[in-house]
Amino acid sequence: MEYLDTSHFLSLPRPSAGDFHAPIVDTTTLAAHDFDVDPRTGFMPPHPPVERLLSLEGQNYEHWEDLLTQACAADLQIADKEGGLTLEEERRSEQWRTTVRMATPHLIYNPFAQIRASTSKGSLCPRMDNAFLHPYPAHLLPRNSHSSTCNASALTSLSRIAASPVLTYSDDVLYNWGIIDTTNASSSPFGTIDPQNLRVLTTFTSTPSESHFYLTSARIELIGVRALSLMQSTLDELFVGDAIAVRRITKYLNQLGSTDVSGSTSGRGIIGEMETELNKMTVGCDPQVFYEQIRPWFRGIDSSERRWIFEGIEMDERLEEPTELSGPSAGQSSLIHALDVFLGVEQYSHSRTLTGRSSITSTPEDERPNEAIPEASSFLSRMQLYMPRHHRNFLTHLQNQNTKRSLRALVFDALASAGISPTGTASSSTSITVSSNSSLSPSSIIDTDDALNLLSAYNTAVMALKKLRDSHILIVTRYIIGPAARAKRSQQQAQQDDEFYMNAEGVAPLRGSGGTELAHFLKAVRDGTKDAVIAP
């Protein structure tokens, strides 16, 4: 009997209870649904999440839903907003917190049951934590902010399913949508849910800008479904690895990144369509509303001066105080990570040097709360800990595939087979050989045109991803860096303009919701993506 290699996907161990950090595979087949990746909706669930979870597996969730509904109706405000809270706003927030304190000892929160129902919406517990903490006036706070809703019992269940105890991108985007016109739910020409037929279930501010912000990301996720399909087709062809497979992979890469592709609604390739949708952020999301009213709700422990305490954690010796408590971030999108891994960009964009931190800090190192994250971990690698467990497993699967048959290696192997050096010059030198662990089949001979076409298609896809990150930088500049600079100027503490602010030295850096030093980090990831281009 021939045994599987120990690194083979099917040989990986099943997850153990409480192992939050290890991205261990929990599946017995290679079917996409084992990773919660649907062929019609990608990383989003195939059916609209339940809008209101009343009862499940004998447990009543209606009281939790009532508390969240009350929080939304109370129009809670961020405590450190400009000008501070009015007495009425303080009264409303404290009244809601009192209701929570009185109710939570009698309520049982079981994320197991909620997540077991794949149609449930974003976790109630983390969303209520944000509503509990962020409106808390500073003069009423103890030295440490307390999280009274996500207590030790909830942490126990969350750790067993390897779920984050804080609000994440998946809570705000993947599991926070419904259908506008249910009679026309699947009207997309590609057989997926129509991206324009979505609505948002829950927001903190009840503003159209917040809804549009979430919907833009959700629509990008749905556009990316076709990219996931092309990835699967490419992996299948990599397994074959002959000259025909090279031509087919070239076609798939052109569909992914080309600027002139039939079948693409924008004529820009699928990644280009994602960029186009990202740029539509400006249509319905007001930059000032986002910066002043929406973004503060996303702050986690590493973008806030407040420390979070999970009450009752000392009562269970099996529990450790969570250290990964960053806020929701676009860096938590499994789709973008999948593109990085698939194209072989990950080794550049996920470099361990890209931690999102520099030597310039606004808070002394020994005073930074809960900062126990190892510097050796890149920011984007850390963000995988905030993804749904099965989506992390999907990325692990892609990474494992790359160790055996990677797309990037195929490009080099095809060039070598055609007698072309990595610089693109033809050569008859016998020193140009295909690697011993080549992605090509042993009998394959790739001609010069096919090899150069593959190289061109690959580089075009990488550059399309780089352009997507260019647009993301522009969006971040308009919605975060620009408003932050204007706010600084109004206090006579800013630089002269937004561009100078982005490149200033010796200035306390602006942090993203995930805790990164925003401008420097985003530009480094963008430049790292460009570095993955194979010079022709």
Mean pLDDT of the chain: 75
Asked if residue 39 lies in contact with residue 225, where contact means CB atoms within 8 angstroms, the answer is: yes
**Of 85 and 162, the one with more pLDDT:** 85
Whether residue 244 is predicted with pLDDT greater than 90 in this model: the reply is: yes
Asked if residue 132 lies in contact with residue 148, where contact means CB atoms within 8 angstroms, the answer is: yes
**Of 210 and 128, the one with more pLDDT:** 210
**What is the per-residue pLDDT across 94-126, written as a single tens digit (0 to 9) for each?**
898 888 877 765 555 555 444 444 344 446 777
C-alpha dist (Å) from residue 53 to 48, 113, 286: 13, 10, 31
Which pLDDT score, from 0 to 100, does residue 249 have?
A: 96
Q: In angstroms, rounded to a whole number, what is the distance separating the alpha carbons of residues 156 and 30?
A: 29
Considering the chain, what percentage of its residues have pLDDT values greater than 90? 29
Exposure string of 437-454, with b = 16+ CB inside 10 Å and e = fewer, is: ebbbeeebebeeebbbbb
Q: In angstroms, rounded to a whole number, what is the distance separating the alpha carbons of residues 507 and 360?
A: 7
Which pLDDT score, from 0 to 100, does residue 118 have?
A: 39
Asked if residue 318 lies in contact with residue 324, where contact means CB atoms within 8 angstroms, the answer is: no
Q: Provide the 10 A C-beta neighbour count for residue 213.
A: 24
Q: Residues 200, 206, 210, 216: what is their CA dihedral angle, to the nearest 10 degrees? A: 20
Asked if residue 59 lies in contact with residue 79, where contact means CB atoms within 8 angstroms, the answer is: no
**Of 324 and 237, the one with more pLDDT:** 237
Exposure string of 362-399, with b = 16+ CB inside 10 Å and e = fewer, is: eeeeeeebbeebeeebbbbbbbbbbbbbbbbbbbbbbe
Beta-bridge mates of residue 511: 517
Which pLDDT score, from 0 to 100, does residue 390 have?
A: 87
Q: Name residues whose C-beta falls within 8 Å of residue 440's C-beta, 6 or more positions apart in sequence.
A: 241, 242, 246, 410, 413, 414, 417, 434, 446
Whether residue 75 is predicted with pLDDT greater than 80 in this model: the reply is: yes
Whether residue 161 is predicted with pLDDT greater than 70 in this model: the reply is: no
The domain ranges of the chain are 49-165, 222-268+324-536
On the 0-12 / 13-18 / 19+ scale of CB atoms within 10 A, 266 is middle
Average pLDDT over residues 495-515: 49
Nearest to residue 511, comparing CAs of 501, 503, 521?
521
**Tokens at 373, concatenated:** 């994250």
Name the residue with tokens 């149609």: 119
> What are residue 56's phi and psi, to 5 degrees?
-160, 130
Which pLDDT score, from 0 to 100, does residue 157 have?
A: 52
Strands (E), 323-451: none
**What is the per-residue pLDDT across 43-67, written as a single tens digit (0 to 9) for each?**
998 888 888 777 665 666 778 788 8
Most confident of 26-35, 143-152, 231-240: 231-240
Which pLDDT score, from 0 to 100, does residue 4 have?
A: 47
Whether residue 209 is predicted with pLDDT greater than 90 in this model: the reply is: yes
Average pLDDT over residues 438-454: 86
Lowest mean pLDDT across 126-135, 263-272, 320-329, 487-496: 487-496
**Tokens at 319, concatenated:** 């529990």
**Of 352 and 400, the one with more pLDDT:** 400
Which pLDDT score, from 0 to 100, does residue 58 have?
A: 62
Q: Which residue stretches of 224-333 are H helix?
A: 225-240, 243-257, 269-279, 281-284, 287-289
- The reply to whether 212 sits in an annotated binding site is no
Most confident of 109-118, 389-398, 491-500: 389-398
What's CA 500's distance to the chain center, in Å?
29
C-alpha dist (Å) from residue 105 to 112, 394, 452: 19, 37, 66
Nearest to residue 343, comparing CAs of 449, 227, 259?
227
Whether residue 514 is predicted with pLDDT greater than 50 in this model: the reply is: no
Whether residue 29 is predicted with pLDDT greater than 50 in this model: the reply is: no
Which pLDDT score, from 0 to 100, does residue 475 have?
A: 95
222-268+324-536 classified as CATH 1.20.1250: no
Whether residue 158 is predicted with pLDDT greater than 60 in this model: the reply is: no
Which pLDDT score, from 0 to 100, does residue 205 have?
A: 92
Task: Give the length of the chain.
Answer: 536
Beta-bridge mates of residue 462: none
CA triple 384-386-388, angle to 5 deg: 90
SS3 readout for 207-218? CHHHHHHHHHHH
Report field, pTM of the whole predicted structure over 0.95: no
Which pLDDT score, from 0 to 100, does residue 404 have?
A: 81
Q: Residues 277, 279, 283, 284: what is their CA dihedral angle, to the nearest 10 degrees? A: 70
Q: Provide the 10 A C-beta neighbour count for residue 158.
A: 23
Average pLDDT over residues 62-80: 85
Q: In angstroms, rounded to a whole number, what is the distance separating the alpha carbons of residues 67 and 416?
A: 63
Which pLDDT score, from 0 to 100, does residue 360 have?
A: 36
Whether residue 375 is predicted with pLDDT greater than 70 in this model: the reply is: no
Which pLDDT score, from 0 to 100, does residue 307 have?
A: 66
What's CA 411's distance to the chain center, in Å?
28
Q: In angstroms, rounded to a whole number, what is the distance separating the alpha carbons of residues 296 and 84?
A: 13
Q: In angstroms, rounded to a whole number, what is the distance separating the alpha carbons of residues 381 and 514?
A: 12
**Tokens at 384, concatenated:** 């995988």
Which pLDDT score, from 0 to 100, does residue 438 have?
A: 65
Nearest to residue 503, comparing CAs of 473, 472, 465?
473
CA triple 210-378-472, angle to 5 deg: 35
Lowest mean pLDDT across 16-20, 174-178, 341-345: 16-20
Q: Name residues whose C-beta falls within 8 Å of residue 64's C-beta, 6 or more positions apart in sequence.
A: 53, 107, 109, 124, 128
